[in-house]
Structure 1
């Protein structure tokens, strides 16, 4: 059976284990049902997720022109502290920026390869943590806009990592850490204007379990640019990665906007 379409990040359902789906325009794959089965992935071409044109993907599923102009690719996406919609100041499209920035955001601690701090919109809980391959996560504060979340993250980056070590995450090389105890230490580290949103005693620890038959001892990242044709037996899904029996791992998120043909 063959499926063809444009790669976008895998859709998920929060359950035990997490359910993963690759969704194309006219079909979808339930990846949990494909564990221990052989898949063949073939690179076909490109399709920008923003303009839909068959142009080479530059970053985040966008062609170069869209990445440089679209409001959905502004610097404040990766650096929330640069958000300015709360000041009524436009970056690329104020209406879009208000819609995204002026809504509840969560600053959190997550355990994926080590304890990391991060920011997500409240509507993306727990999807954001699943996408990072976190095994545990706990909110620190819920604030009314992206800017406040951003300055909180900046303050905490002096004490915690803000990126996941993807190789450790995929090997399940995760230390034992009490995230609830870690959160208790933070009250004096967060900015003064965010103190009122801090609730260290709330019972809201998330546990996340992934559909993995075996974790690799060594990982080798698959690039469709270098290896446009690949086949292997699927042994797990974690974060936004497909994991194969030979240690090959494929980051679906990295190749958003690539058109592929997948045969089972």
Structure 2
């Protein structure tokens, strides 16, 4: 990419596909990439939500957008979705694998279905999308930026919110990231993961606002607060940008210092 301007995070001319792009952190990161000039593909299961997200991003930032409905656990839907994006844009330069879920229950009470569902969405789903995008778009192009959204819980355990399937899946995403970085580096593809800490999203709002969790956060997070909207943006833009062309295989915590303790 020609990067003669002063913006080392310039993504003009790039096409970014963001999964789980109907609410929360996925939408925030999609907007961050759009702000840097990238065209955005909003991919998730709920058509009406991604249609709205695509409209909003186009109106706000003037970039081309596309909404594609897809369940990332369905291999055929994933393959078809990637084909649809390639038909529309002709390429996929950036992939943010953000779609995920989270089962919270004591390990001794977790059902087979809960554990299987967690791995199927967070780990296998991440792989399915990365596989399809790499095979159909990035390897042929000799270029790609894949960013897998893991979690600080993929790096450490925790005592406040028992969620062993989530820890297992996100730990898998961290090491899957390393494996793919090693395999696909020769194709000009970087593969990195971001490990967010506690951020407000529609799924976490109630838990994070509870008094007991606020108290816990003060002792467990060196910065003594949760992450707020926008604080993941720089990590996503950096890893997607020309500035990170020699960065691959990393797990980048954005957690207020949680994993440093």
Give the TM-score of the pair, scaled to structure 1: 0.25
Task: Find the structure with the greater CA-based Rg.
Answer: 1
Greater RCO, CA 8 A, separation 6+: 1
